[in-house]
Structure formats: structure tokens, C-alpha cells
């Protein structure tokens, strides 16, 4: 069993929809990262959080330490949000990656 589980694996949404991607982890962590990998292959760090909630534009990330769960929300989704979203938990010196959620937003 993977230390980090993401759901769903694949997600198709209509433009404008509210999207939620979930990440559960089984290890004690110092931080939780959300990464975005574009269709062209480039990887961008979206958020790093250890508690509470962070917001950047239309993206919101939350984490519940007690439940060992994090969510990434995208409001008013747009086709340019189409990408693979990867959750990664770190204990400082160790990284555990989810298998990614492939998101396709249809115009």
C-alpha cells in the first residue's frame, strides 16, 4: 500500500465546474506538497502546507492533520487547468508521492 493515496485517478470536468482532488497519507509529515505537471511535462509547485488552508488565485489547498487528509480545490475551472496534479508528503528527509490525478477540463 502506498503511503500517499490520491483520488480520483482521472477526472473530466466541464469548464466552470468546481473541482476537488483528494490526498490521504499514512505517515507523520512535516509538510504536504501539491504539484502540477503540465501536458508538456513541466512541473510546478502549487502549494506547500503543514496546517490549515492556503489560497492562490482559483486554487485552494486544505489539510487536516488529525485526519491525515488534504484536498486541492479549483474554482471556476478552465481548460488551461488540464494537467496532472500530484500530492507529496514529506517528513523532511523523506518524500512520498501519490500517483497523480489527471484532470481534463472540457470547454
Partner 1 sequence: DTAVSQTPKYLVTQMGNDKSIKCEQNLGHDTMYWYKQDSKKFLKIMFSYNNKELIINETVPNRFSPKSPDKAHLNLHINSLELGDSAVYFCASSQGPGSEQYFGPGTRLTVT
Residue 90 CA to residue 97 CA, distance in Å, equals 9
For the CB of residue 16, give the shortest distance to partner 1 in the complex, in Å. 27
Run of H or E residues at 6: strand 4-7
For the CB of residue 10, give the shortest distance to partner 1 in the complex, in Å. 12
Backbone angles phi, psi at 52, to 5 degrees: 70, -130
Query: 89 near 96, Cβ under 8 Å?
Result: yes
For the CB of residue 24, give the shortest distance to partner 1 in the complex, in Å. 17
Judged by beta carbon, residue 68 or residue 97, the one nearer partner 1 is 97
Judged by beta carbon, residue 71 or residue 90, the one nearer partner 1 is 90
Query: 47 near 40, Cβ under 8 Å?
Result: no
| Contact residues: partner 1, CB under 8 A | 30-31, 33, 35, 37, 41-45, 48, 84, 86, 88, 90-95, 97, 99-100
For the CB of residue 15, give the shortest distance to partner 1 in the complex, in Å. 24
Which neighbouring-strand residues pair with 63?
Answer: 52, 70
Written as nine digits, the cell of 51 is 496546517
Judged by beta carbon, residue 15 or residue 94, the one nearer partner 1 is 94
Amino acid at each position: 500500500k502506498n503511503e500517499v493515496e490520491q483520488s480520483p485517478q482521472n477526472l473530466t470536468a466541464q469548464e466552470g465546474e468546481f473541482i476537488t482532488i483528494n490526498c490521504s497519507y499514512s505517515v507523520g509529515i512535516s509538510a504536504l506538497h501539491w504539484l502540477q505537471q503540465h501536458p508538456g511535462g513541466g512541473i510546478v509547485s502549487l502549494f506547500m502546507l503543514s496546517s490549515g488552508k492556503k489560497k492562490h488565485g482559483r486554487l485552494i489547498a486544505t489539510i487536516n492533520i488529525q485526519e491525515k487528509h488534504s484536498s486541492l480545490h479549483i474554482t471556476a475551472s478552465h481548460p488551461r487547468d488540464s494537467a496532472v496534479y500530484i500530492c507529496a508528503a514529506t517528513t523532511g528527509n523523506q518524500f512520498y508521492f501519490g500517483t497523480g490525478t489527471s484532470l481534463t477540463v472540457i470547454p
